[in-house]
Amino acid sequence: MAVVFVRAVILYILLIFTVRLMGKRQIGELQPSELAITILISNIATLPVEDTGMPLLTGIIPILTLASLDVIMSWLGMKSRLIRKIMCGKPVIIVSDGKPDRKKMKAIRFTVDDLIASLRGQGIFDISEVQFAVVETTGTLSVYQKFADRNVTNSDMELKGKDTDPPEVVIADGECIPEAMERIGITNEWIENTLKREKTDIKSVFLMTVTADKNYSIMGNEG
């Protein structure tokens, strides 16, 4: 049992390192080549855990090889549009000028049910509202609505305002986050003085957010 435990821990750490090396993506955002490598790696990782007679390197070497191959192909894809097209395919326009293109939908095996379900996922329940729709290389659907059905924006209403960044989380679970503090230009002294005015301290703060113009919100551990 101890051998299995140690092997599992080693492979777990290796898989975390491998996934970080391949980049941060959700399963639904993986390109076909990335999904294939992810499935292969997950299957390979189980073999040395299940079979303790198998050398651990039998699992480690293929995993590192596949991860390295993915990084190399990603780098080549950044250099060559042709390689990107071969590895990832290209986006397909399935709705143009408000009309579904049945031939293209059939070519990529995208059914009417797939189209309707993807539209519902974006809050669109009437296909007549769609002006333009594209199936991306990840399989997700990007939609551009007709003018009459788009949400009204501030520019449509000619409202004036300024562009601002969202608030930064500077304290989480009683610990300061230096990177966030640096981005908005505040110091530990500023935080301590602010918390002193609020009659609390860092360890008592569950969440604190601060905007670029130093407006802040504090939530204590007591909720």
Q: Are the beta carbons of 143 and 133 closer than 8 angstroms?
A: yes
Which pTM value belongs to this model? 0.64
| pLDDT tens per residue across span 90-127 | 899 999 988 999 999 999 999 999 999 999 999 999 99
pLDDT at 137 over 90: no
What DSSP letter does each residue of 79-137 carry, written as one string? H-HHHHHHHH---EEEEETTEE-HHHHHHTT--HHHHHHHHHHTT---GGGEEEEEE-T
Q: Report pLDDT for 28.
A: 56
